[in-house]
Structure 1
Amino acid sequence: MSKNELDLTRPLVLDFDHAVGPFTDENRIDLFDWQERVRFGCGLSTFSQLSEYLDHQLPEAYGTVFMGSGDYHHVTLALLERLRGVYSKADPIDVVVFDNHPDNMRFPFGVHCGSWVKHVAKLPFVQHIHVIGITSSDIGAAHAWENYLAPLYQHKVSYWCLDVEVSWAKYVGLAHAFHRFESADALVKAFISHHNARADSSRPIYLSIDKDVFAPEVAQTNWDQGVLLEAHVMRIIAALEGNIIGSDVTGEISSWQYTTWWKRWMSSMDGQELPELADVQRRQLQHHALNDRLQVALSKATRV
């Protein structure tokens, strides 16, 4: 096995919030000084500065990227942008996102953890984005106007959801973009069948996991959570073995008090609570164990 092949099995920690526990063999980049600027969201100028900084810091090859809190899920966009030139419109990739939220919501001030999917949909080498495991009311009728609808109409984004009423979609011509199921087992079975039936079953896939997609007993996060069990996500990872060319994980539980007024306001609007330090430390042990298992599964499934 070559050095680069070994590096593809070595996890990379983008350490914004010191929430990701140590792996036996890892790369780790200290980004704590970026926390206030980037956490939850930032302007496009700040995001470009972060992307440029990462270009100089990231190793040539790396395995699954662990980024801490789900408040950093928009950093996935920076990781995907690095694939420009490796893939193209003629040789595209799909993106599979596990998340309790669509992450395709309106945010006019740049990019944030709830809007980054819209930006990924604009990348010419991304064929399609599947957001799997949504139970959030963000995709219900009352919040329909908050979703970026263009990527849905353009067949660039699909929502795979449970426990939320989405019948409104068919009345506006978006039935093709919403796949609703009565159980997590049914959702997983349908997605795997969809993947296996693709005309181009070898198309590369980038996979991103926000652990708020899990039921709280699997791993408690800072956000409202879904209903998937670890076994559901592991089944899909196994089904995608050999297609995955990169991956990341967010959703650690961590605590941060913003000094930026609009971040304090928006995080409170989203119902985020600051957990007690002792509770954070206890729950992080649960996350560390889950991270180890996810890293092993993703390493095995990643194309070398």
Structure 2
Amino acid sequence: MESSVALLNFDGSYKKQTFYQTYPYEWIELESMENTSLLCEKETLKDISNKIIGQKRSTIYFLGSGNYHYVSHVLQSNIKKPYSLILFDHHTDTLPSPSNDLISCGSWVLDSLNTLPMLKKVCMIGVSEDAPNHIPNSIHNKVKFLTEDSLQSNLAIIIKSILNYIPTDSVYISIDKDVLHPEDALTGWDHGTMRLKQMLKMLQVLFRNKDVIGLDICGEYPVTPTNENQREIRTIIGKNNHTNDILLRYVKRWMYRKSNFQQMLHA
């Protein structure tokens, strides 16, 4: 059965794109919710969770700007079996939240490790060189990171290292496009140097060797009514639309092949 694509509409960013229109997709409307950018009260997070749960269950989620990356925590909260998080991101997102009542785009991985019992390990790929400074001692034994400079070495060795680290059969993949080189995507944050082709090779190996139980993508450029018609902004939207199209096309292809293979095994 083909999985549909869910588009979270916090900021209207996907209304300017077309990459999803050739696939089954659904909108989850969240624009009316206040105070959700960057920081989110946990009571509001419950409302977001209820909105997502109330929709038809999807496997692939597009979250919008990286300001809403914390929604990945919600998407993983109902996983019922041990799994590892594979995080493609230029930031670790393990900073302490400013309050116990808040979750943020910079704290959600730390919150997930502290509150999601099925999450066993996190593998961060493409983080900045100062990543070790942002990982609290309390979770060091649950985190492996590959910095952007380390990704310049042999890709086969890198992929083997990732697979050797993952202790679970199941993985959840979360992608923030700020991990990519600016030639492949543009976000509202500082960027890494990973190329899209490099990311696709790593993703392909993960799909071949692991049970991918969910995937989300964020990292849209913030577009407002005052800038959406500027030539530069239209170019950025086009670039991100193209990258989203490539990611979605390959992910759905790998999911389809894995599903067919599993059906053959159980025929």
TM-score category of the 2 structures, normalised to the smaller one? 0.7 to 0.9
The yes-or-no answer on 1:186 pairing with 2:185 is no
Q: Which residue of 1 aligns with 2:234?
A: 281
Residues 1:199 and 1:125: Cα distance change in structure 2 (over 3 Å): closer
User: Cα–Cα, structure 1 residues 198 and 215, in superposed 2: closer, same or farther, change >3 Å?
Assistant: closer
Whether 2:38 is the aligned partner of 1:40: answer: yes
Equivalent AA in structure 2 for residue 54 of structure 1: I
SS class of match (2:144): strand
1:162 CA displacement: 3.1
Unaligned runs of 5+ in 1: 164-180, 258-273
Instruction: Give 1:136 deviation, angstroms.
Output: 5.7
Per-residue CA distance 1:268-303 (angstroms, 9 max, x = gap):
xxxxxx977513232111111111110122123335
Structure 2 residue 47 is the aligned partner of structure 1 residue 49: yes
Pairing 1:75-86 to 2, within 5 Å after superposition? 75-83=71-79, 86=80
Contact kept, 8 Å, 1:100 with 1:136, in 2: the verdict is: no
Q: Which residue of 2 aligns with 1:133?
A: 126
| Residue 135 (structure 1) shift | 1.7
1:217-232 correspondence to structure 2 within 5 Å: 217-232=183-198
Contact between 1:63 and 1:299, CA under 8 Å: does it hold in 2?
no
Q: What letter matches 2:13 in structure 1?
A: A
1:160 aligns with 2:146: yes
- Tell me by how many angstroms 1:66 deviates: 0.6
Given the alignment of the two structures, is residue 111 of structure 1 paired with residue 103 of structure 2, yes or no? Answer: yes
Counterpart Cα distance in 1 of 2:166 and 2:29: 42
Q: Percent identity of the aligned residues?
A: 25
In structure 2, the residue matched to 1:247 is 215
Name the amino acid aligned to 1:29. I
Please tell me whether the aligned partners of residues 74 and 116 of structure 1 are also in contact (alpha carbons under 8 angstroms). Answer: yes
The TM-score normalised by the length of structure 1 is 0.74
The one-letter amino acid of 2:157's match is: A
- Indicate the RMSD between aligned Cα atoms, in angstroms: 2.3
The 8 Å contact of residues 212 and 223 in structure 1, kept in 2 or not, is answered as yes
Give the secondary-structure state (helix, strand or coil) at the position aligned to 1:37: coil
Aligned CA distance change for structure 1 residues 275 and 211 (closer, same or farther; 3 Å):
farther
CA-to-aligned-CA distance 1:228-279 (integer Å, 9 cap, x gap): 000110011110114212101000101469xxxxxxxxxxxxxxxx977513
Q: Quickly say closer, same or farther: Cα 1:225–1:31, change in 2 above 3 A.
A: same
What does residue 87 of structure 2 align with? 97
Q: Which residue of 1 aligns with 2:264?
A: none
* Aligned pairs, number: 246
- The verdict on how the C-alpha distance between 1:232 and 1:276 changes in structure 2, with shifts beyond 3 A counting, is same
The CA distance in 2 between the partners of 1:219 and 1:227, in whole Å, is: 11
Maintained 8 Å contact 2:84/2:166: no
Q: Distance in 2 between matches of 1:188 and 1:67?
A: 28
Q: Which whole-Å CA distance do the structure 2 matches of 1:199 and 1:245 have between them?
A: 14
